[in-house]
Amino acid sequence: MPALNRDGLKIIQLDVKDVRFPTSLGSHGSDALHTDPNYSCAYVTITTENGKQGFGLTFTCGRGTEIIVLTIRALKRFVLGKNAADIFTDFASFWRAITNDSQMRWIGPEKGVIHLAVAAILNALWDLWARIENKPLWRLLVDMEPEELVSTIDFRYITDVVTKTEAVQLLKAKKSGKNERVKYLNDNGYPAYTTQVGWMGYSDELVKTLCHKYLNLGFTHFKVKVGVNFEDDYRRCSAVRNHIGNDKVLMIDANQAWSVNEAIEWVKKLAPLKPLWIEEPTSPDDVLGHATISKALRPYGIGVATGEMCANRVMFKQFLQSGGMQYCQIDSARIGSVNEILSVYIMAEKLKVKVCPHAGGIGLCEMVQHLQFWDYASLSGTMEGRLIEYVDQQHEHFVDPCIVENARYLAPKIPGYSTEFLPGTLEKYAYPNGSEWQRMFKEGIFPPPDEAELVN
Ligand SMILES: C[C@H](O)[C@@H](O)CC(=O)C(=O)O
Ligand SMILES: [Mg+2]
């Protein structure tokens, strides 16, 4: 791609907002451990001197968003006054700088709150870059030369698995056929699965209604939450299996509910219902535990999926190398944005692990579609055994929402990373002063926040 003109691209403002939706009222998004999530995010807007803007977010479950907002404010100094063109020209060095401040790295490094904060800022920068280039993010990535794409990645800690040179070779190997794959994506989109039928707090009646709704919408893959009580799980999963039939695919997600041996025993007893994968059976940090579970469940034809809470590329490296994950669930808002996620895709490609992105959260469907589209066009070149999660919530709040038709994500067409909220959404759902939150406090639907939460 031709070099960016630096004129007007000095970053003069970075705003951050705490935005929350009252999803816990309907148990939407609930699972074994996150029993009452209010789908929320820290929402960043970056503005340049010439008025260009980039929007980025990181997903949260409600309380705690204010801590990420504070952390983003503490990281502003890495962005303000910089020229965006300089950042994009040597993105890997900028990434290293923002993730490795000599004092702040002590509160990470590259994990937890500080990495979520970094993700929101970097997501806004990628959105800005794609808007400046007037392309949807996936096309920005697809149109980059392999060397250029790889120049955005910090390879520190992963060169024992993949070097920069190998990454370039992997991308070059898929150059032929790329235009045809882009056309295929534009014409046919990318397959999706639904999690919307099986949130933990949903009644049996609602699960039945939703199974039929999503079957009618053309879905063939359905994910159900498990992990609180075995008898309930067996009953709910059997019901879903009956509703969807034996020709459709069932996945189950425990959201870290079990210890390793408990996971093995529990899932073996669900094996007659033929789940394709068990997702997050145990602690997201227990690499060898996941490998043990994978080995024990292999004879039952059940794979292990994980990644939505995988802290960074180093943890992914361990999971990918150890046989701890058969389905790699990159998340667009937990690790260090596109830069770090590309490195995970590249390691997964080299180690032959399928990537099926996680999207249960606000804005995640909007973002991960771009990444998986790029992967098909430029890296893996295949959709076999791969799907993008689809969670049917809060899309109406985005300027450029993802569109899923006949169980396929349609190719995003509008410039950017699809991360911009509508102005009315911020007016209503900014926390705690948005008009909807003020109404809900007044009506006693939620208690107002206590002192500690009022950092905004
Ligand atoms: C709290 C979130 O809704 C989580 O349950 C999402 C998830 O695990 C998934 O989509 O997978
Ligand atoms: Mg999950």
Looking at residue 450, its pLDDT comes to 85
For atom 6 of ligand 1, the residue with the nearest CA is: 360
pLDDT at 456 over 80: no
Tell me if 158 is assigned to some domain.
Answer: no
Tell me if 221 is assigned to some domain.
Answer: yes
Cα 182 → chain centroid: 22
Looking at residue 2, its pLDDT comes to 80
Q: Tell me the two tokens of residue 355.
A: 């990537």
Task: Tell me the backbone φ, ψ of residue 259, rounded to 5 degrees.
Answer: -80, 170
Looking at residue 225, its pLDDT comes to 98
Share of the chain above pLDDT 70, in %: 99
How confident is the model over 203-219, as pLDDT tens digits?
A: 999 999 999 999 999 99
299: CATH: 3.20.20.120
Confidence of residue 452 (pLDDT cuts 50, 70, 90): low
Same domain, 390 and 431: no
Residue 370 makes CB contacts below 8 A (sequence gap 6+) with: 136, 137, 138, 141, 412, 417, 418
Q: At what angle do helices 230-244 and 260-270 cross, to 10 degrees?
A: 40
**Spacing, Cα 393 to ligand 2 middle (Å):** 15
Q: At what angle do helices 287-297 and 260-270 cross, to 10 degrees?
A: 30
pLDDT at 416 over 80: yes
Tell me if 357 is assigned to some domain.
Answer: yes
Residue 434 makes CB contacts below 8 A (sequence gap 6+) with: 19, 426, 427, 428
pLDDT at 439 over 90: yes
* Mean predicted confidence (pLDDT) in 50-76: 98
Same domain, 325 and 449: no
**Residue 395: which domain range?**
172-409
Looking at residue 115, its pLDDT comes to 98
Measured CA to CA, the distance from residue 59 to residue 55 in angstroms comes to 13
Same domain, 313 and 382: yes
28: CATH: 3.30.390.10
Same domain, 236 and 344: yes
- ipTM for the complex shown: 0.99
Looking at residue 344, its pLDDT comes to 98
Same domain, 209 and 306: yes
Same domain, 180 and 59: no
Q: Which atom of ligand 1 is nearest to the CA of 329?
A: 11
- State the pTM of this model: 0.98
Confidence of residue 281 (pLDDT cuts 50, 70, 90): very high
pLDDT at 455 over 70: no
Same domain, 320 and 363: yes
User: Kind of pairing, strands 40-48 and 11-20?
Assistant: antiparallel
**Spacing, Cα 415 to ligand 1 middle (Å):** 28
Which residue among 41, 199, 308 is best mutated to probe the pocket of ligand 1, counting the most ligand atoms within 8 A of its Cβ?
308
Q: Which atom of ligand 1 is nearest to the CA of 200?
A: 5
Residues having CB within 6 Å of any atom of ligand 1? 29, 31, 34, 37, 61, 195, 253, 255, 308, 358, 360, 389, 391
**Spacing, Cα 59 to ligand 2 middle (Å):** 13
Q: Tell me the two tokens of residue 248.
A: 């459709």
Tell me if 378 is assigned to some domain.
Answer: yes
Tell me if 402 is assigned to some domain.
Answer: yes
Confidence of residue 198 (pLDDT cuts 50, 70, 90): very high
Catalytic residues, which ones?
225, 358
**Spacing, Cα 443 to ligand 1 middle (Å):** 29
How confident is the model over 305-352, as pLDDT tens digits?
A: 999 999 999 999 999 999 999 999 999 999 999 999 999 999 999 999
Measured CA to CA, the distance from residue 188 to residue 405 in angstroms comes to 10
Same domain, 132 and 194: no
Q: Which ligand is nearest to the CA of 391?
A: 1
Q: Which atom of ligand 1 is nearest to the CA of 31?
A: 5
pLDDT at 95 over 70: yes
Tell me if 364 is assigned to some domain.
Answer: yes
Same domain, 426 and 403: no
Same domain, 353 and 433: no
pLDDT at 252 over 90: yes
Looking at residue 1, its pLDDT comes to 80
Tell me if 5 is assigned to some domain.
Answer: no
Which residue among 34, 278, 327 is best mutated to probe the pocket of ligand 1, counting the most ligand atoms within 8 A of its Cβ?
34
Same domain, 366 and 440: no
Domain count for the chain, please give it: 2
Same domain, 324 and 398: yes
**Of 246, 328, 261, whose CA–CA distance to 296 is shortest?**
261
Tell me if 4 is assigned to some domain.
Answer: no
